Structure 1
Amino acid sequence: MKVEKVDVVVIGAGPSGAVASSLLNKQGKKVVVLERETFPRFSIGESLLPQCMTYLAEAGLVDSLNSQADALGFQFKNGAAFEKSGEHTFFDFTDKFTEGPGTTFQVKRADFDKLLADGAAQQGVTIRYRHTVIEVTEHADFMRLIVIDESGETYTVEAKFVLDASGFGRVLPRLIDLEKPSKFPVRSSYFTHVEDNIDDANFDRNKILITVHPEHPDVWYWLIPFSDGTASIGVVIEPEKVVAAEREHQEILFDYINQVPNLSQLLKNAKAIAPARQIKGYSADVTRLHGERFALLGNAGEFLDPVFSSGVTIALRSACLIAPVVNDLLDGKEVDLAKQYAEPLKQGVDCFKTFVTAWYDGRFQDVIFHKEQDPQIRQMVCSILAGYAWDTSNPYVAHSERRLDVLAKLCKEYQ
């Protein structure tokens, strides 16, 4: 059997795969992307953070996003709004501590992912759709992959380096035994797209709306408007709180929406335009983010929780961190994957993790709904919500757990 030899195999053509392959292709590396699905295909993670725009620009993919956003129904986004038992607050991402873009888009992921993959292909990246990696073996100087193509034929590829950008497919963690349980509790999400028909003149379509259940503060909802009058809606909940017997996902979702006055009023005229879906137990972790000849990007490594829309940002950050390291390795330079990739990536992931944990235990909810907020601290927190979780000049990034805990105690004390 003929063996194909390339510099880099990227598993998955989603956002991290498109960005990483674009960056390596720009350096003249022979890159092949193997994608199990055909694009466009469904994915969640529809509300981008402004930090994403920096990474897309680095890969030469931001101009096509800006130019095609309106045609694809993507919604301009400048912040996040929060609602809890009649209390309302919001963050304007242009009023933040860290320099950089303060606006982005809320996107339909099927079209967004295809736009990025098409952009990478136009730059010269080879993308093979409906090619599934079924076996991987590590060798001293290369990785060997067994792949099934769209016709069912099997072939072999040897790559000097492999990047797993397969997202929830988690190809390398499954095939070379890297998976480990997440420390986050198992949660389910029920979600769909609707023609929202929102007639409230005060509703701000430029922001994601996150709503907390009035009786269960660990149950929350997203409402992500798009510019064409549709929206993504969903609820995140621990499975044991759901009475699911003999009920369709859509019935469960709208039952929970109707338990919250602000959402039930906003969505009183909504019409579902897609079947409701459920994802259960999506939080994931791994024993390591890299080996001598591979690295895990984005959700293939660790996925936290959708509450602050950090997934795509982490994915793109991982792509932009790993690409120059792999390029240097292929050029024969000494690299340290731990110090140059895993540790810097983990720094921002851990910051997000602090805020996700504090959301569910109530501390961060106490902070954002506090009546009297210091403007400078608010800007620092806003930067993290905008995706700038790697800016260590921000004290709430550099010392996220300690700073947030102290802030939450003060807010609790003086509420």
Structure 2
Amino acid sequence: MNYNFCALAKIRRAAAILLVFALSLGIVFGTAGCSEPQKERFQKTYLDAFDTAISVVGYSDSEEAFTEMAETYVHNELMRYHRLYDIYTEYAGINNIKTINENAGIEPVAVDGDIIAMLEFARDMYYVTDGKVNIAMGSVLELWHDARNHGINYPDKAKLPDMAKLEAASAHCNIEDMIIDKEAGTVFLADSDMRLDVGAVAKGYATERIAQDLEAGGYTNIILNIGGNVRAIGTKADGMPWVVGIQNPDLMSSIAHIETIETDALSLATSGVYQRFYVVDGKNYHHIIDGDTLMPEDRYLSVSVLTEDSGLADALSTALFNMDYEEGKSFVEGLASSVSAERGLAAGLSENAPSRAGVTEAETDDEETEETGADSVIEVMWVMPDGEKRYTDGFEAYIVSETK
């Protein structure tokens, strides 16, 4: 029997998003607690920003208030970040990542502070992960993107990118050639053949920024799912944690989720082979490219990261996908023990990026957080090629599924 794996993947991605919110709303396992919450539960779904499915679920005194929050502080902001971080499309009156790429080797580009803040975070992640997350790999990723799109559109003509071209492109991936002038508010790519691709960090970074702005504005009892980047803002209205399903990377399995966790203030991000792949000579080639081999590797089926910060979770899920298991586990243990849980490690408010949910930067800066100084929560689940699940020591404490 022949299967259309790409179509199947799209169906499973949509199902996974619905699953997250079926679980988070207590549809599958029920909602614990004896009394009904006074606030009502509402949900909004969008299908435009970051070219992915977006869901906002939360509790509010009225549908009008919930809708205003979802539209103003989530959807509108996501669309703004989408336009800023887009590498494919130009927008009137906006200098975005595409603008920076088109001016590589030509001149610095004046950009919004939210671009500079995200690029600085991405550069930090490059050094933290020893280059396993590299937004300067755009020239390499563009070759894979073109080959993947051609293979999806013309399956009988699908082929891999030419290795000689990949190696030539890899000579133009030096993160130091991305020159940020914060005082001038500009970004310049010193290498004319260098291109930025922020896909490994942008969505998670934007998710965290929006979540922090909502928290600063006093919003709670909300869970965001931005194309698989899940971020909880407080508990459900009855004080119970949200329950979130992690998609099964085996597209042929009848089991939709491979694990289920509960959270009240954490982020979950997953990178997997089932996302954006194509088939060449009967073999699937996913979209996560190893900077060392210039190829998608087969170390895992998926990697899920649970931590306080959605930007960090997004970046780490990609980085760990490109590390061997023992290397990755050692890396996570060292990172968790050395990094304080300062909310904003990955996406904190900066002088370039003021809050947009009713709290000014000055007000946010004046607030002392008791989290600083505590050990950061960084827990990981790896799904091996044979389906075996491996965890960091603390991950299983969050599991509530029957597969525990």
TM-score using structure 1 length:
0.25
- Give the structure with the higher percent strand: 1
TM-score using structure 2 length:
0.25
Structure with more contact order per residue of length (Cα contacts < 8 Å, sep ≥ 6): 1
